[in-house]
């Protein structure tokens, strides 16, 4: 999912957590650890994430959950190599889409037997 795929200008923390696939407390923790995450806060202190914020969260998710990096290593990667991470993440997403499509084809072939 690219930022252009997101249709709203702002997402509340609940929606952002669902889009990323983590809990709200996890997002709050990541916000305290990664200075790149700076959601807008309303007068009542409600967090609002932009599509760009959500893309940053997706990168952090990729580093921590998919690649399995420790927090310090993920921070270092964000600081030194963000554009390369984005490219790798896009490739992984495309490969997953291809895998899903191939699995559907295999299921369809098995039904024909």
For 36-67, how does the pLDDT look when each residue is reduced to its tens digit (9 = 90+)? 899 999 999 999 999 989 989 999 998 999 88
The residues that bridge with 12 in the sheet, in sequence order, are 48
CA-closest candidate to residue 59, choices 100, 1, 14: 1
How much is the mean pLDDT over the chain?
Answer: 87
pLDDT tops 60 at residue 4: no
pLDDT tops 90 at residue 20: yes
Please give the Cα distance from 11 to 16 (Å, whole number): 6
Q: Give mean pLDDT, residues 66-79.
A: 90
pLDDT confidence bin for 78, thresholds 50/70/90 = confident
Long-range CB contacts for residues 22-26, cutoff 8 Å, separation at least 24: 22/61, 22/65
pLDDT tops 50 at residue 2: no
pLDDT tops 50 at residue 3: no
């Amino acid at each position: 999912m690219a930022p252009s795929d997101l249709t709203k200008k702002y997402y509340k923390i609940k929606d952002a957590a669902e889009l990323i696939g983590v809990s709200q407390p996890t997002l709050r923790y990541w916000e305290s650890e990664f200075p790149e995450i700076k959601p807008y806060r309303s007068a009542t202190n409600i967090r609002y994430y932009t599509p760009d914020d959500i893309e940053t969260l997706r990168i952090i998710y990729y580093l921590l959950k998919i690649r399995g990096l420790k927090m310090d290593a993920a921070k270092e990667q964000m600081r030194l190599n963000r554009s390369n991470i984005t490219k790798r993440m896009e490739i992984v997403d495309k490969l997953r889409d291809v895998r899903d499509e191939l699995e559907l084809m295999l299921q369809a072939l098995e039904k024909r037997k």
